[in-house]
Amino acid sequence: MSVFLLLIIVAIVLGLIGAVAGGLGFLLVIGVVVFVADLAWGFWRLRRGRPRPVR
């Protein structure tokens, strides 16, 4: 869970820097890609479910 939140924060920071700083639009694109990849990874982990304990 902490990796998920860390990647969300990194994506937001990169997006803000890319949007505000002139000539650094590639950081905005990288931020969006990291954000989308993080959401896909989070949904994949959510759909996979938790392993069931062996009895």
Q: Where are the domains of the chain?
A: 2-47
Local confidence band at 4 (pLDDT 50, 70, 90 cut-offs): confident
Alpha-carbon distance of 10 to 27, in angstroms, equals 11
Mean pLDDT of 34-54: 83
Mean pLDDT of 34-50: 85
SS3 annotation, the chain: CHHHHHHHHHHHHHHHHHHHCCCCHHHHHHHHHHHHHHHHHHHHHHHHCCCCCCC
- Cβ–Cβ < 8 Å for 11, 35: yes
Q: What is the pTM of this model?
A: 0.74
- Cβ–Cβ < 8 Å for 34, 14: yes
pLDDT digits (tens, 9 = 90+) for 17-40: 888 887 888 888 888 999 999 999
